[in-house]
């Protein structure tokens, strides 16, 4: 009988790590976290928030109420301009979506205005958080 010896023409690959799938996964994770972190809390109205060292809790479906300075403070509910008289109606409509409210108050808004709106929100049974800018050291 004849003995046939088969030899591989390929080199030894045991030490080689295939990096292209690894690079693809890392790039996808980077893109996910870059876009995910910037979409956490956005309001269509530009305000100058006060600074704080505390962090805002996660609230995906929270209603955003924005207070803009002026002769009479303007109120925006989820980017829709409303008056304080319509705020209760809008909150009642949004109860099914979420019971969380994030208040974005410009730092030049009077303390009394912020407290009046806060009291109004809390009386309706909503959870209230105040948005601030992160302090930089």
- Percentage of the chain with pLDDT > 90? 4
User: How many Å apart are CA 95 and CA 91, to the nearest integer?
Assistant: 6
Pick from 94, 86, 95, 100: which is nearest to 129 by CA? 100
Q: Does the residue 22 lie in any domain?
A: no
The pTM assigned to this predicted structure is 0.59
Q: Does the residue 32 lie in any domain?
A: no
**CATH number, residue 99:** 3.30.420
| pLDDT attached to residue 84 | 82
Full residue range of the structural domain in which residue 130 is found: 51-134
Q: Does the residue 79 lie in any domain?
A: yes
Q: Does the residue 36 lie in any domain?
A: no
| pLDDT attached to residue 54 | 66
Q: How many domains does the chain have?
A: 1
Q: Does the residue 87 lie in any domain?
A: yes
Pick from 46, 59, 56: which is nearest to 98 by CA? 59
| pLDDT attached to residue 32 | 84
Pick from 135, 137, 136, 126: which is nearest to 50 by CA? 135
Q: Which residue is listed with tokens 């809008």?
A: 90
**Residues 69 and 30 sit within 8 Å (Cβ to Cβ):** no
Q: Does the residue 116 lie in any domain?
A: yes
Q: Does the residue 61 lie in any domain?
A: yes
CA neighbours closer than 13 Å in the CB half-sphere of residue 123: 8
> What are the 10-residue block averages of pLDDT along the chain, 137 residues in total?
75 66 88 69 61 65 84 82 86 83 84 88 88 72
Q: Does the residue 41 lie in any domain?
A: no
User: How many Å apart are CA 51 and CA 117, to the nearest integer?
Assistant: 20
E strand or H helix at 92, and its extent? helix 84-93
């Amino acid at each position: 009988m004849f003995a046939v010896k088969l030899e591989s023409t390929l080199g030894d690959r045991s030490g080689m790590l295939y990096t292209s799938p690894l690079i693809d996964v890392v790039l996808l994770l980077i893109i996910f976290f870059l876009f995910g972190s910037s979409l956490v809390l956005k309001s269509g109205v530009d305000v100058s928030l006060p600074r704080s060292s505390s962090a805002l809790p996660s609230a995906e479906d929270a209603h955003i109420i924005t207070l803009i300075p002026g002769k009479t403070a303007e109120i925006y509910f989820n980017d829709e301009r409303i008056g304080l008289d319509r705020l209760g109606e809008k909150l009642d409509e949004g109860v099914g979506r979420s019971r969380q409210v994030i208040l974005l108050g410009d730092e030049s808004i009077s303390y009394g205005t912020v407290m009046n709106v806060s009291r109004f929100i809390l009386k309706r049974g909503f959870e209230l958080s105040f948005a601030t800018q992160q302090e930089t050291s």
